Structure 1
Amino acid sequence: MAHLELDRIVQRYGAHTVVDGVGFRVDTGGIVCLLGPSGCGKTTLLRCIAGFEPIVEGEIRLDGAPVSRPGFSLPPEKRRIGMVFQDYALFPHLTVAGNIGFGLAALSGRERRARVEELLATVGLSGQERKYPHELSGGQQQRVALARALAPRPELVLLDEPFSNLDAELRERLSHEIRAILKQQGMTAILVTHDQNEAFAMADEIGLMADGTIQQWDTPYDLYHRPANRFVADFIGQGAFLPGTVADGGRIDVELGRLSPRLPLAAGRGCPVQVLLRANDIVYDECSALRAEVVHRAFRGAEFLYTLRLPSGAEAQLLVPSHHHHALGETIGIRLGVNHAVAFADDRRAPGAAR
């Protein structure tokens, strides 16, 4: 059952359209993410869902009932929505227990204490109820913020860049933990972030946004392996585009060999295309006659990410175990390790020729 539905939402600031005809639905208990670069409209859309901003076109529905449409906006406090902010927004003069129980004034003292204790256990902070926010780490503060959002038993939880103030290792760990908590509680949730790793770790489905529109709404797997357009392919994951030419049977010839495209191409033989190759689509092979020059390397502990210059001058990326340590300027053997590639029209040479 759809818990949240957005129907062709438009929001403008003056003449500037920030959200342009966005529509999607979130089923009860689902966790979705609005992902995209700064300025794409994702935070504005979240604020519209929360009721902090009106909309100029379309309709937002919760459990089938309209909460926003032109000329009408149900107040945020009546939407049964919990909000987790980027800066946590904890009350510095209240203890952990005071922060979590802040929205529970309607409960008796005993009920409020029981709910706070339950949530402290849920977020892994039992015994911390008498501490103040400044006595906690960033990760602990974020758990308190989540517990406070969950305390009134909202029907929808909105998370606005909740991990951006944390270091990379803590972001990854906390995103998995918070997903588990939300799933345990059966909560419907929407995450807003510019970090695809957070999106992949938390979301069942992701809407990738650009210029106020959703470019693709899909599972993390399909966003990565089946990007709908060049923007999605550029934004998600790491890789490089190589020029190619459509060959017989719809296969594609690139500098590294012949490929079968994952997406169907409408182009005929000889048409130019651009082929996306991820770093794991190329294999390190010193027995290969095809050589490439190492022009950049990034050490990642267990792996090196090499940027390679191919004989044509085009660049590609390669992931190899870090015991294969090659110097800048060194040439190494490589070969293709992919059977299906993602290909797009080469619009610079032949607009509309393929796709």
Structure 2
Amino acid sequence: MAFGSLPATPSLTLPESDPLVHGFVILAFFVHAIFMNLVVGGTFVMVITEAIGVVTARGDYRQLASTLANWLPGFLGVAVVLGVMPLVFVQVLYGPLFAPTVSILGDHWIVAFLAAMVGYAGLYGYSHWRGFLEQRPSLQLALGVGISVMFLGVALVFVSASVLMLHPEQWENVRSQGFSAVLSLPSLLPRYGHLMLAAMAGMGIFLVCYGLFLSPSGQAFRDEDPKDRYATWVRQYGVAWTLTGAIPQIVVGPWLLLSLPSFVRGDLVSGQSFGSLAFFLALTAALLSLVLLNAALMVPQARGLAIGGMLSLVVTMCLMMIVRHAVRVTWLSQQYETAALGAKDQWTVFFIVAIMMLLGVGLTIIMVKAYQKRVRVE
């Protein structure tokens, strides 16, 4: 579809999907979002941790930053592989909206992919040149900040595409005024802030899991043991980052809710739909997680508090994935006529991509096992 022929209010045909398809859409995005959060939030956390280590000369921070630097390239590779399926689902289900949106954001879309590749290379350089970079902390931090900014920019472009596809009436304005017109869409900034804070919270949850892994439950805590002290510190540090991402949502969440159209907001708080039920359950789980995580921050030796807070927040994130999809379905179904699409060709594309994704995941697992074997031999 050429830019010059884009209608201001296009005539669209959208699919009515069965519950199984909706479940696949939510699951595909959730799996991708896990690693996406680890990359976007993890890069930011790594840079801040590195900076604290440089300024304070504390070995715990430098050690954790080094660990994150070794993990993040792998996380990004998995996120890219798992990100194919959500894009395929969106294209299959909402092609009349998604394809023109990508075309309108063409230049930014291309720059985003280039930035992702450069960031990928930067993460590898940050890890493999660590010995060289540690002798030049200013250069190390500058490289880390540059990588983090790239990933934040990539996330902004993807969020912009997700929001712009819900506003086809704004396509002509964006085409004529540029990216500034996208930034003026009511729900863009709160949605972007919501996701970036969720990325920090997700990385915090991962650090809590890592700290729990470092101190198995069958072993009693020994304050004189450096490994136990480090594991407890990692858990506490992870809880702090989780709260850093979760507490501001108290402001950003209502901002995002109020930015939605009235009919979408009304459906979400009506208590009469599955998305509404997920929304209120997510709020309850979020409040529980804040209470438990705050207690875990004050009593870091209490593993149960950290585990309970972490699990509550994971449940919150799962439910918010459902809410996110419910918002999109409500938004589109109440504005455009829905009709079933021919499934033959669409399912063919789906199965081809699914097979490719499984092959990619299998190859990733083989490479990880080969790397672990090499490390054990060395």
Q: TM-score, normalised by structure 2?
A: 0.27
> Greater share of helix residues, 1 or 2?
2
Structure index of larger Rg:
1
Q: TM-score, normalised by structure 1?
A: 0.28
